[in-house]
Amino acid sequence: RKEVEQDPGPFNVPEGATVAFNCTYSNSASQSFFWYRQDCRKEPKLLMSVYSSGNEDGRFTAQLNRASQYISLLIRDSKLSDSATYLCAVNNQAGTALIFGKGTTLSVSS
Amino acid sequence: GAGVSQSPSNKVTEKGKDVELRCDPISGHTALYWYRQSLGQGLEFLIYFQGNSAPDKSGLPSDRFSAERTGGSVSTLTIQRTQQEDSAVYLCASSSGLAGGQFFGPGTRLTVL
């Protein structure tokens, strides 16, 4: 199993749709989880941390399932501006850095 | 406030030359990271600095790669005798602690001809 794995997509959805991405991780001892957004030829930008109890930020909801070792990101009421690549990140075994998935591409169309 | 800055934004070099990439982290962030991202690939961890502790160099791909962090702030990543496979975007990030997430600079796009 790869350390952090994501479905590359692309996910093509219409405006207003709800879309969800999953990300699986292999290290059961991982403690820190994040979702990043990366636009084409730009740096990743921190979207949100993922907390054990789940957390919400506007239209975005992140959840953690420790038993099955995955995190998820739900986007409600998709906007054109949500089109981007979404990267999940999990701390490495040493706790010194993040391991990133290769990203899931989302394309929202009108 | 000011984010992470990196220079140069683009660097084109010839195979065999040495290059230096610079990163200026967010003020007050004690942790600094270097990653690289090749076309269509994920981010690959290179090196991590935390305060005055010994850096975690476990991600450096070869001994041609080295990095320094002077005075707990600015960092330089040096690649000696560059090879074509070194072509990538080199990203620097900083954080106040791993639990708070990392904040990335705009990257240096390195092209080795």
pLDDT in tens, B35-75: 999 987 889 999 999 988 889 999 999 999 999 998 879 99
Q: Would you call B107 an interface residue with chain A, using a CB distance cutoff of 8 Å?
A: yes
Q: Is B99 helix (H, G, I), strand (E, B) or coil?
A: helix
| DSSP classification of residue B54 | P
Backbone angles phi, psi at B100, to 5 degrees: -90, 0
* pLDDT tops 80 at residue B89: yes
In this prediction, residue A1 carries a pLDDT of: 67
CB B102 within 8 A of CB B93: yes
pLDDT over threshold 70, residue B112 = yes
Quote the pLDDT of residue B39: 83
How many angstroms separate the CA of residue B41 from the nearest CA in chain A? 6
Asked whether the beta carbons of A102 and B42 are under 8 A apart, the reply is: yes
- pLDDT for B1 equals 60
Tokens of B69: 């962090």
| Cβ–Cβ under 8 Å, residues B67 and B76 | yes
Residues B27-34: what's their mean pLDDT?
A: 93
CA distance A33 to A4: 11
- A32 with B104: Cβ contact below 8 A: no
> Which residue among B50, B91, B98 places its CB closest to the CB of A32?
B98
> CA-to-CA distance for A14 and A4, rounded, in angstroms?
28
Whether B15 shows a pLDDT value over 90: the answer reads: yes
Q: In this model, does residue B34 exceed pLDDT 70?
A: yes
* Contacts with A98 from chain B: Cβ below 8 Å: 33, 45, 98, 102
Q: What's the mean per-residue pLDDT of chain B?
A: 93
Task: Sort out which chain A residues have CB atoms less than 8 A from B99's CB and list them.
Answer: 31-32, 49
